[in-house]
Structure 1
């Protein structure tokens, strides 16, 4: 491993972020295929706590974890 890259290939933030994005994406795609776009949009904008809102939250958290994983690390001296 090169000294220029800090823990390259062992970044668990990015791995967890990708996992959350995949899980949230699967649920949203499943709901879109079963119910259709208009029905899922109604669930996204109503006042109730629904599965679609959790999936969007999972996608947001996954993207946040991926960004956190790609931040620049300072090496300890």
Structure 2
């Protein structure tokens, strides 16, 4: 292998990002199956602090971590 080869995305930022996205997605899918899309949409836009908002924030944070993991890292030589 070349010393210039960089394994993009194989770090803990992307691992944590994928974990957050999967966990947030599981909760949202579970709520969609139990309550239906109309109720979940209502829970997302009301003024209360709900589980659906936390799940959406988890997905957003997971995407941020994945993007952070794919940034270009300069290796010192």
The alignment's TM-score, normalised by the length of structure 1, stands at 0.91
Question: 1:47 Cα shift?
Answer: 0.2
Poorly superposed stretches of 4+, deviation over 6 Å: none
Query: 2 CA distance for matches of 1:65 and 1:45?
Result: 25
Does the 8 Å CA contact 1:6/1:75 hold for their aligned counterparts? Answer: no
Over the residues paired in the alignment, what is the CA RMSD in angstroms?
A: 1.5
Query: 2 CA distance for matches of 1:48 and 1:7?
Result: 42
What per-residue deviation string (whole Å, max 9, x for no partner) do you get for residues 50-73 of structure 1? 000000000000000000000000
Partner in structure 1 of residue 41 of structure 2: 41
Question: 1:2 Cα shift?
Answer: 3.8
Query: 2 CA distance for matches of 1:8 and 1:71?
Result: 8
What per-residue deviation string (whole Å, max 9, x for no partner) do you get for residues 30-67 of structure 1? 00000000000000000000000000000000000000
Does the 8 Å CA contact 2:24/2:56 hold for their aligned counterparts? Answer: yes
Query: Where in structure 2 are there 5+ consecutive unaligned residues?
Result: none
Query: 2 CA distance for matches of 1:23 and 1:2?
Result: 36
The alignment's TM-score, normalised by the length of structure 2, stands at 0.91
Which 10-residue stretch deviates more, 36-45 or 5-14?
A: 5-14
Q: How many residues are paired up?
A: 77
